[in-house]
């Protein structure tokens, strides 16, 4: 459990056996008079070395514009032995984060008053790249100046600073010596989407082995191909010698659709089609095999679905006998309806994949996957998806942050929204 602790009303007792016993959070830093005397300047480090921090918080679930607010607090310079003080460099805004605020995600938020909020609250955000400011005496894997990523969701990353307990287990460190080739925004997006694509491509059908046996790249098909996971699957597939069929929604104009298709082709996609093309009568048995794939013998055994509804059924119809569909999202908000014939006569299998659950079952493999993605990023073999950077400074208004969060689920976007922290 991670938390940023507010300035205590008295110094913590050295003999305290728990953080809860040693700290008493308060709602706000008590230094406005000092700021006025110094000409209104804002001090990053307040009296006695306390770090001033801000966080987006919510105390009840609902629409982001209605329930999110900014909370100001302070963090003591005296760290527990196994804790690390972090400064946030970049934090993505993922659809899952918004669903968590809304209360519709698979994992429900936990509420507490550890950072001094008037009501028990939660800090949203599952991904981030942090800079390590200082560490407790018992921390062995991090040192000041390193970068750090959450080792699992639930850390609460939409904040300027955080005090993270059990830092060695809660964070994936990137030493100062290994920062070359990485940007904070890229590193911040490495722990969910690329890892999701990695595991789905490797854990259900051994496409690499199929490629070796056939002497040519095995096929997979996916919808939502221009999403973060979709772009990651395209790149990883190309690196591993696989061939991909990628389904996207048509854009407002034919030119825009053609530009998107070309963008994904340049990224490594073998075939890019629109949802309308997928739904054409006879597409799976005719045009796909005869014209686009030009490969009637190679099986198509893996489909990655993040949409649901009719689009998912369209993918399933393209699979070869014995194929498997992995569902990791439901953007259409429609149920996945599969005719019995695909199960009985085609022997298709359907699975759900949630990277958060997978990571809890095998945290060591999760960490290894993240580190493998970072290695590809360092060498330029894996490119992060397009991003819309939202600057977050100490003076950034609450409304600006709320709008950035709310806009993530609205229409077509040029890239993932990412909070990029400036003077905080």
238 contacts 383 by C-beta, under 8 angstroms: no
73 contacts 56 by C-beta, under 8 angstroms: no
Report the alpha-carbon angle 242-233-181, nearest 5. Answer: 105
**Residues 105, 204, 328, 412: which is the catalytic one?**
105
Distance CA 50, CA 52 (A): 6
Name the strand (E) or helix (H) holding 246: strand 243-248
Beta bridge partners of residue 325, listed in sequence order: 303, 350
DSSP class of residue 412?
-
The yes-or-no answer on residue 412 being catalytic is: no
Distance CA 412, CA 391 (A): 21
CA dihedral sign of residues 353, 354, 355, 359:
negative
Distance CA 423, CA 101 (A): 26
For the chain, first and last CA: distance in Å? 23
Count Cα neighbours of 415 within 13 Å in the Cβ-side half-sphere.
Answer: 14
Q: Which residues are catalytic, by number?
A: 105
């Amino acid at each position: 459990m991670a938390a940023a602790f507010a300035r205590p009303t008295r110094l913590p007792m050295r003999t305290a056996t728990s953080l809860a016993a040693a700290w008493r959070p308060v709602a706000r830093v008590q230094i406005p008079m000092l700021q006025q005397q110094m000409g209104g300047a804002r001090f990053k480090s307040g009296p006695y070395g306390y770090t001033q921090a801000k966080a987006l918080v919510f105390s009840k679930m609902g629409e982001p514009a209605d329930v999110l607010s900014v909370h100001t607090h302070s963090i003591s310079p005296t760290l527990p032995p196994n804790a690390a003080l972090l400064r946030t460099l970049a934090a993505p805004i993922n659809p899952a984060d918004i669903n968590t605020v809304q209360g519709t995600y698979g994992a429900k938020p936990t509420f507490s008053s550890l950072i001094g909020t008037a009501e028990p609250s939660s800090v949203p955000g599952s991904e981030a790249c942090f800079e390590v400011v200082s560490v407790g005496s018992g921390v062995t894997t991090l040192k000041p100046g390193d970068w750090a990523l959450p080792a699992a969701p639930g850390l609460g990353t939409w904040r300027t600073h955080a005090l993270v307990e059990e830092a060695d287990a809660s964070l994936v460190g990137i030493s100062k010596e290994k920062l070359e080739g990485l940007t904070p925004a890229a590193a911040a997006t490495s722990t969910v989407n690329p890892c999701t694509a990695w595991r789905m491509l490797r854990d259900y059908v051994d496409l690499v082995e199929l490629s070796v046996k056939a002497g040519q790249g095995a096929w997979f098909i996916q919808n939502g191909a221009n999403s973060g996971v979709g772009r990651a699957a395209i790149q990883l597939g190309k690196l591993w010698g696989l061939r991909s069929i990628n389904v996207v929604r048509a854009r407002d104009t034919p030119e825009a659709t053609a530009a998107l298709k070309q963008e994904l082709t340049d990224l490594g996609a073998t075939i890019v089609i629109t949802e309308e093309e997928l739904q054409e009568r006879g597409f799976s048995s005719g045009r796909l095999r005869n014209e686009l794939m030009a490969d009637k013998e190679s099986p198509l055994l893996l489909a990655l679905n993040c949409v649901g509804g009719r689009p998912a059924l369209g993918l399933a119809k393209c699979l070869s006998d014995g194929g498997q569909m992995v569902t990791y999202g439901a953007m259409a908000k429609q149920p996945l309806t599969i005719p019995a014939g695909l199960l009985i006569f085609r022997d298709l299998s359907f699975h759900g994949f949630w990277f958060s659950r997978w990571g809890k079952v095998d945290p060591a493999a999760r960490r290894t996957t993240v580190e493998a993605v970072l290695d590809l990023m360092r060498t330029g073999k894996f490119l992060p998806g397009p991003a819309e950077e939202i600057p977050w400074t100490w003076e950034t208004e609450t409304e600006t942050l709320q709008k950035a969060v709310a806009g993530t689920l609205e229409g077509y976007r040029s890239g993932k929204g990412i909070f990029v922290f400036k003077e905080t």
